[in-house]
């Protein structure tokens, strides 16, 4: 099997599964209980929080455990909107965001919030200058992805964060789900107020993740109850999930220094450039683990089905919208024509993939395209 759909989800690492199983079996008490068993679990949870903080180099109290990217993005965006609406209802984002940002912002429009959707370049990025131009007196939040989940564009997050420091009342939220463990991002003392991470993108388990919340960021909680997670996320904590997330985070950080992703990226891009009828959508300076291209005239599901018969698994766009047969909103935002925007294919690598797998994929891709062309003759 060749699995090239790692931006949708990754295969959990055995050590991650083992840590979840052990904690679930032996540390099952409620961490809020005052008896010794509860105390042991609470200590384990706080140890996991400290380890997560150390691994992303932030203070322990800024780490909030969540169920993943969608919850993290919703908590950040809606939390800021509800908490700060008395001083402004203007939010800035881009036209090429993941549904968990785009749809969340869109939902707030029903409650009187005004959203500025900044247009992106053909490479899927915006400049810090464009962001600054969009800032108004009533702006309360700027929210965007670090790495685009479809085409791998990398936003100039550090530059944008630096510019926004001139506007201390404007909070900056970054969705770093696709960048974690692959594209470096410094959080502490950079101007980034909120940042979302997800476990199942780094060989962790689904339903795990963290939201970084800077000391200066005030959020209105979406969940009320027992005031867990600093009052931001009430509900009995998923301690096994938190511990397993930290295990996955530690393992991916150890692999981040390898250059295998660049080798895979460069090898595949070189092959694609030589193929006729291929339109490459990923920018040359994008994230190395994502390569997106289109084969105009051929429906992507046809190629995906053909490759699946060879046990090669790729995707089209975000797994959250892949069942939607419409054109990619990201490619449309980048100015791509309909035939390109509706025929996109995404290859996304992990550190476990090999150059041999890339060679096999290219060979089978050529076969699939040729077979389809022969059918049309």
- CB-based contacts of 303, cutoff 8 Å, min separation 6: 295, 345, 365, 368, 369, 372
DSSP labels for 170-197?
A: SEEEEE-TTTTTTS----TTTT--EEEE
CA 4/CA 22 separation, integer angstroms: 30
User: 356 in helix, strand or coil?
Assistant: helix
Q: Note if 320 is an active site residue.
A: yes
Helix (H) or strand (E) holding 217: none
DSSP labels for 76-117?
A: HHHHHHHHHTTT--EEEEETT--HHHHHHHHHHHTTT-EEEE
**Sign of dihedral through CA atoms 52, 54, 56, 62?**
positive
DSSP H helices in 213-328: 239-255, 260-273, 300-308
Q: Is 234 left (phi over 0), alpha (psi -120 to 50) or beta?
A: beta
User: Annotated catalytic sites, by residue?
Assistant: 320
């Amino acid at each position: 099997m060749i699995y090239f759909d790692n931006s949708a989800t990754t295969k959990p690492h055995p050590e991650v599964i083992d840590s979840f199983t052990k904690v679930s079996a032996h540390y099952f008490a409620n961490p809020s209980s005052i008896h010794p068993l509860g105390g042991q679990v609470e200590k384990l949870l706080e140890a996991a929080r400290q380890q997560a903080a150390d691994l992303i180099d932030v203070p322990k109290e800024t780490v909030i455990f969540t169920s993943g990217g969608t919850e993290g993005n919703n908590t950040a965006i809606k939390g800021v909107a509800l908490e700060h609406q008395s001083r402004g209802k203007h939010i800035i984002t881009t036209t090429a965001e993941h549904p968990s940002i785009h749809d969340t912002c869109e939902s707030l429009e029903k409650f009187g919030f005004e959203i500025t959707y900044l247009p992106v370049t053909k490479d899927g990025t915006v400049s810090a200058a464009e962001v600054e131009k969009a800032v108004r007196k009533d702006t309360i939040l700027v929210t965007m992805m670090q790495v685009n989940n479809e085409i791998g564009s990398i936003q100039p997050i550090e530059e944008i964060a630096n510019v926004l420091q001139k506007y201390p009342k404007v909070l900056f939220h970054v969705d770093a789900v696709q960048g974690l463990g692959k594209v470096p991002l410094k959080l502490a003392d950079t101007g980034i107020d909120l940042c979302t991470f997800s476990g199942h993108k780094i060989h962790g388990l689904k339903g795990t993740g963290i939201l970084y919340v800077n000391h200066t960021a005030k959020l209105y909680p979406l969940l009320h109850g027992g005031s867990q997670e600093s009052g931001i996320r009430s509900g009995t904590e998923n301690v096994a999930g938190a511990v397993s997330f930290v295990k996955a985070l530690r393992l991916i950080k150890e692999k981040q220094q390898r250059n295998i992703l660049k080798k895979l990226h460069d090898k595949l891009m070189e092959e694609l450039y030589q193929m006729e009828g291929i339109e490459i959508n990923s920018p040359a300076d994008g994230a190395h683990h994502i390569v997106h291209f289109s084969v105009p005239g051929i429906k992507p599901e046809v190629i995906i089905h053909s490759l699946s018969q060879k046990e090669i698994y790729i995707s089209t766009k975000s797994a959250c919208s892949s069942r939607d047969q419409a054109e990619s909103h990201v490619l449309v935002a980048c100015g791509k024509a309909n035939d390109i925007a509706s025929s996109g294919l995404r290859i996304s690598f992990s550190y476990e993939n090999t150059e041999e797998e890339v060679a096999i994929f290219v060979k089978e891709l050529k076969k699939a395209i040729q077979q389809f062309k022969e059918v049309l003759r």
